[in-house]
Structure 1
Amino acid sequence: MARRERLKRAGLIGALVGVAATGVAVGVTAERLLLRRRRAPEADDTQAGEWFRPLPCDEAVAVPTDFGVDLHVEIVDPVDGNELDLGPLDDVDPTLIFIHGFCLDMGTFYFQRAELTRLGEHRMVFYDQPGHGRSGKLADGEYTLDDLADGLVRVIDECAPDGPLVLIGHSMGGMTIMALAEQFPDLFGDRVKGVVLVSTSAGKLDEVAFGMPDYVARIAKPLMPVVIGGGKLTSNMVDNIRRASTDLGWLITRRYGFGSEEPDRALVSYVERMNSRTDTVVVARYLRTIYTHARYPALEALKRTKVLVVCGEDDKVTPPDHSAEICRILPDASFVAVPGAGHVALLERPDIVNAALLEFLEQIY
């Protein structure tokens, strides 16, 4: 009986942690029965032939942080002849810095990076957040958005020490920008000439129901401390459960990461691979800072620069009303609602997101 109880408890924590990677905490068994689909891409999938291999860069560096984690950074330079380094600072094209979200990595910006590299007009900096992708992990303790902001400052200091900047953040990456604005408001309007916030929130994420029925959401929220306090004692067990449940993870990603009824299977698999590479200890150590994130006052600093807010119309993780609230505080911000898209709108509808990004960059210079 004791062994059965341990397995039952491990199964509960495993389900919670795996689901937390895409922002939902319960209901996975029903999803598996209702949404069972083949994972292999089909011929009519838009991205069926896309392998999502790592994109080329001109330089890869490791940037150390004050909290003991090295960040993996990749730099893409403009095509020869497009980079102008003459004239006053305000006449120089900005460096674009891309900051990804929770349980993802720099590959979140795959289509934006591919298109901007093709155009060859901008210097771009991509990096993996602490504990994600190829960046290092904390030896102990919890991750905080304040630390993420410090990490972003280190990336700026090491990789773009001079010239104007445009910061582009998805989900937790947008929260990182807000934490930066809270700690270093003078950067905005001075060096930071533009901010793009994609599928993000300034707070109250503990109130999000993730598209679940109210009674399910009420059960899920009190269980978050179980995940946060899970710690190393259960991490190996939970990671084994997650790896053994890849079909379940794929279905959860499909249901809660995307907005369309039939998203491209290749895209779902790509996002699910990023989710699954983030281990349980990292997930648990991030949840507190994400679910207590509240930085509405920090948005005041963004009034000094141009802002673009983008959100999928069917985003269940950071619902559209969170973007609407950001725009209420920043009435001069541009807003783009992406139809038929969920939390990963920049992957699901890159045509719309890329067009909005390029138009925004043209407005800056």
Structure 2
Amino acid sequence: MTTTTRRRFGIAGALVGAASAGIAAAAMAKRYAVGRIRLRPDLEASEPFGELGGSSHTLITSDGVALHVEVDGPKERRPPEEGGDDGHDAPLTVVLCHGYCLSLESWHYQRRDLREHHRVVVWDQRSHGRSQRAVSGDTSIDRLGDDLAEVLDQFVPGPCVLVGHSMGGMTIMALADRHPELFGDRVRGVALIATSAGKLAELTLGLPALVSKAVHKVAPTTVSMLGRRGSLVDRTRHAGSDIAFLLTRYMAFGDSKNVSPTLVDFAESMIRATPTEVVADFYPALMNHDKLSALHVLDPVPTAIMVGDQDWLTPPDHSRAMAEALPKAQFIEVPDTSHLIQLERPGAVTDALRDLIKRVGV
């Protein structure tokens, strides 16, 4: 071996060694960060996430997709001999619509607290949770609005309050756009939580302007490519569980230092359960969503608009824009709170919903 060859091997070895050391250091730092977080006091460690009971139903939509729906409330948990039924005589139903890459379980706290006195309907949007994948079906926001109309038709016999988080709020806006006749009589109140009426493609995601612009430029192609290789990506997603934990904690709960590790795990499990192909299917619909002109349909009903001041996914400016379009709406900005506000600040969200129900006055 010549001196030059030995030198080249030595340089290559040094580079490989440095890279390996860097990877090992990054892995140790990641484990250290996750370990420190998990060692903090966890007030939610015993919370029965995913274990709330109710009656389960299946709704076949007009385009053939099976939606998972659950009905809950005081009568739902009583045996028939004590008057248990579907609660069809309840004066008001609260319908909870979840967000992108989540499921009906994301309403854990609100369902737990509201069902004591109200009939509650929760449902998994198409391709999410336990609802059927819309393999060849429509994954537009408009179609989600039509799905909600069918949920109301089958499971809500009387007046209701609609509550939507993130994509769920967009679903309600699509319902208003496509079925305005429902608002005022059937739909008596609306809560739009951590959501947007449009222009999501302009989000900075908490990044510097130039970096954010570059991310948005490559995101559609990247998401589409991942979607085409979805099954392969899904097989490897579990391998990055610590990274997923940290990303979920940062993007969904912001800078909060007191968020429960159990709660982060719960949120991350919902996100991980969403197939990569579904993430890719709905991404263009979210980026193209524009329903600001439909908000006037909500004018006749009490409306609450709620957002965390540290929400980077649907920032406060988007909620303020909706509040400007709905000057009679109650606007609530919760300090030190990020995107998964209903999990991070459940008491504040539930209190806002109770106040909205009082304003509805049914």
TM-score (norm 2): 0.85
The runs of 4+ residues in structure 1 deviating greater than 6 Å are: 80-84
Q: CA deviation at 1:47?
A: 1.2
Q: CA deviation at 1:154?
A: 1.2
**How far apart, CA to CA, are the structure 1 residues paired with 2:50 and 2:36?**
18
Task: Report the secondary structure of 1:124's partner residue.
Answer: strand
Task: Report the secondary structure of 1:143's partner residue.
Answer: coil
Of 34, 37, 58, the match for 1:37 = 34
Q: CA RMSD in A?
A: 2.3
Q: CA deviation at 1:48?
A: 2.5
The aligned amino acid for 2:206 is G
Map 1:75-114 → 2, pairs under 5 A: 75-79=71-75, 85=89, 93-114=91-112
Q: CA deviation at 1:141?
A: 5.5
> Quick check: which one's helix share is greater?
2
* Per-residue Cα deviation, 1:327-357 (whole angstroms, up to 9, x for no partner): 0000000112112210011100111111111
**How far apart, CA to CA, are the structure 2 residues paired with 1:227 and 1:138?**
21
Gaps of 5+ in 1: 1-28, 86-91
1:227 matched residue in structure 2: 222
* Per-residue Cα deviation, 1:137-179 (whole angstroms, up to 9, x for no partner): 012365111111111111111111x311110000000000000
**How far apart, CA to CA, are the structure 2 residues paired with 1:284 and 1:187?**
31
Of 159, 165, 181, the match for 2:160 = 165
1:311 matched residue in structure 2: 307
**How far apart, CA to CA, are the structure 2 residues paired with 1:107 and 1:316?**
22
**How far apart, CA to CA, are the structure 1 residues paired with 2:297 and 2:71?**
27
**How far apart, CA to CA, are the structure 2 residues paired with 1:289 and 1:39?**
38
Of 320, 323, 341, the match for 1:324 = 320
- Is the CA contact (8 Å cut-off) linking 1:40 and 1:266 kept in structure 2? no
The aligned amino acid for 2:109 is F
Q: CA deviation at 1:247?
A: 1.2
Q: Which structure has the greater CA radius of gyration? A: 2
- Is the CA contact (8 Å cut-off) linking 2:190 and 2:303 kept in structure 1? yes
The aligned amino acid for 1:238 is V
Task: Report the secondary structure of 2:145's partner residue.
Answer: helix
**How far apart, CA to CA, are the structure 1 residues paired with 2:136 and 2:32?**
38
- Correspondence 1:62 to 2:58: yes
2:114 matched residue in structure 1: 116
Of 195, 207, 223, the match for 1:212 = 207
- Is the CA contact (8 Å cut-off) linking 1:141 and 1:285 kept in structure 2? no
2:346 matched residue in structure 1: 350
| Distance change in 2, residues 1:157/1:342 (3 Å) | same
Task: Report the secondary structure of 2:74's partner residue.
Answer: coil
Task: Report the secondary structure of 2:158's partner residue.
Answer: coil
The answer to which structure, 1 or 2, has the higher relative contact order (CA under 8 A, 6+ apart) is 1
Of 181, 187, 190, the match for 2:176 = 181
- Is the CA contact (8 Å cut-off) linking 2:50 and 2:108 kept in structure 1? no
Q: CA deviation at 1:290?
A: 0.3
| Distance change in 2, residues 1:33/1:247 (3 Å) | closer
Q: CA deviation at 1:36?
A: 2.9
The aligned amino acid for 2:99 is G
Q: Percent identity?
A: 38
Map 1:150-161 → 2, pairs under 5 A: 150-160=146-156
Matched pairs, number = 326
TM-score (norm 1): 0.84
- Is the CA contact (8 Å cut-off) linking 1:64 and 1:154 kept in structure 2? no
* Per-residue Cα deviation, 1:37-71 (whole angstroms, up to 9, x for no partner): 228744622212224132010x2110011222100
* Per-residue Cα deviation, 1:168-191 (whole angstroms, up to 9, x for no partner): 000000000000000011111121
- Is the CA contact (8 Å cut-off) linking 1:142 and 1:286 kept in structure 2? no
The aligned amino acid for 1:184 is H
**How far apart, CA to CA, are the structure 2 residues paired with 1:39 and 1:131?**
35
Gaps of 5+ in 2: 1-25
- Is the CA contact (8 Å cut-off) linking 1:142 and 1:285 kept in structure 2? no
| Distance change in 2, residues 1:84/1:278 (3 Å) | closer
